[in-house]
Amino acid sequence: MSPPETAMEPLITVEDVHTYYGKSHILHGVSLYVGKGEVVGLLGRNGVGKSTTLKTIMGLVHPHQGKVLLAGRPVTNVPAHKLARLGIGYVPEDRRIFRLLTVMENLRTGLDRHGVTEARKQELLDKVFAYFPVLAERRNQAGGTLSGGEQQMLAIARAMMLEPKIILLDEPTEGLMPRMVSQIRQIIDVLHNEGVAILLVEQNVPLTLEASERIYIMEKGAVRHHCAASELKVDHPVIHQYLGV
């Protein structure tokens, strides 16, 4: 387990962010942080703004109010493509891989960057193919022909091509079979061991509690609860309160 964050600047800080979609006020002052190499879970019912929070961090939507900081530097209005280059990886809900591009081309969208040697590119590819052998097999197949689980792997692999400092994972296990779910669980561990921070949005509570070090719980566009993951069990009253059916 990594040491508790103390005086070091967190990797990602979200400070009192208000985000709108058109006229809808989705985020009502969200504040959270993710430290270097930390795995942090973000829980909450559907529609509370978890995905919007991730999109705000990624720069895909810009907040009306509030700040987003990357290692202490304000990046609130920096466009998404620059943030990706600065080390934020994003794996959205529905995976959203490029269906008409092959697996290899999908990976290349992240791999083809300035300042990366051919050798390093090959290293990254080898690594990812080692973790996801199925992608190696299908490397020349169009993304749209992959199964749901394979697409999820491709989405994560693609983000890894950016050599990110943090990966924003939005409901990675949704719609996957249990076997795939545990594979995702393993990947989270692997990434964690490599020092990549993860902000994990999930509906799967047990998995999130197991994988994360800290938990945020959101409701109605704001963070309502924040604690160490170890303090929560699946049947904890707080879980029932914010996530219970």
Partner 1 sequence: MEFLQTIPWDLILIQTLNGIVTGMILALIASGLTLIFGIMDVVNFAHGELFMLGAYMGVVVLATSGSFWLALVIATLIVALLGAALQVTTLRPLLGRDPLTTILATFGISLVLQNYALWQFGPVARKIQEPFTGQFTLFYLQYPWYRLVIAALSAAIIGGFWLFLKYGTYGIWIRAATQDRVMAQAMGIPVPWVLTAVFAIGSGMAAASGVLFGPLVGVNHAMGLDWVLKAFIVVVVGGMGSLGGSIAASIFISLLEAYAAIWVSPAQAVIVSFVVLILTLLFRPTGLFVPTPK
Reading the block at residue 40, the tokens are 């942090």
The reply to whether 62 sits near partner 1 by the rule CB under 8 A is no
Is the alpha carbon torsion for 184, 58, 15, 193 positive or negative?
Answer: positive
According to DSSP, the β-strands at 24-34 and 197-201 are unpaired
* Burial degree of 64 (CB within 10 A; 0-12, 13-18, 19+): exposed
What string marks each residue from 155 to 174 as x (binds partner 1 by CB under 8 A) or -? Answer: ---x---x------------
Stretch that binds partner 1, among 88-96, 170-178, 181-189, 208-216 (CB under 8 A): 88-96
Residue 141 as a binder of partner 1 (CB under 8 A): the answer is: no
Q: Do 6 and 54 contact (CB within 8 A), yes or no?
A: no
Distance CA 181, CA 63 (A): 33
Copy the structure tokens of residue 243. Answer: 């996530």
Which of these ranges, 10-18, 98-106, 180-188, 198-206, lies near partner 1 under the rule CB under 8 A? 98-106
By CB under 8 A, what part of segment 41-60 binds partner 1?
58-60
105 forms part of the interface with partner 1 (CB under 8 A) = yes
Q: In angstroms, how far is the first alpha carbon of the chain from the final one?
A: 32
Q: Which is nearer to partner 1, 51 or 205 (CB)?
A: 51
**Counting contacts by CB under 8 A, is residue 108 touching partner 1?**
yes
- Could you say whether residue 90 binds partner 1 (CB under 8 A)? yes
148-160 vs 118-131: helix crossing angle, rounded to 10: 150
231 binds partner 1 (CB under 8 A): no
Please say which residue, 23 or 81, places its beta carbon nearer to partner 1: 81
Rounded to an integer, what distance in angstroms lies between the CA atom of residue 231 and that of residue 159? 31
Stretch that binds partner 1, among 82-90, 180-188, 207-215, 228-236 (CB under 8 A): 82-90
Check the CA dihedral 131-132-136-140 and report its sign. negative
Asked if 139 touches partner 1 (CB under 8 A), the answer is no
Do 40 and 213 form a contact (C-beta atoms < 8 A)? yes
**113 near partner 1 (CB under 8 A):** yes
Shortest gap between Cβ of 100 and partner 1 (angstroms)? Answer: 6
- Chain residues in the site for partner 1 (CB under 8 A): 58-60, 79-82, 84-85, 90, 92, 96-101, 105, 108-110, 112-113, 158, 162
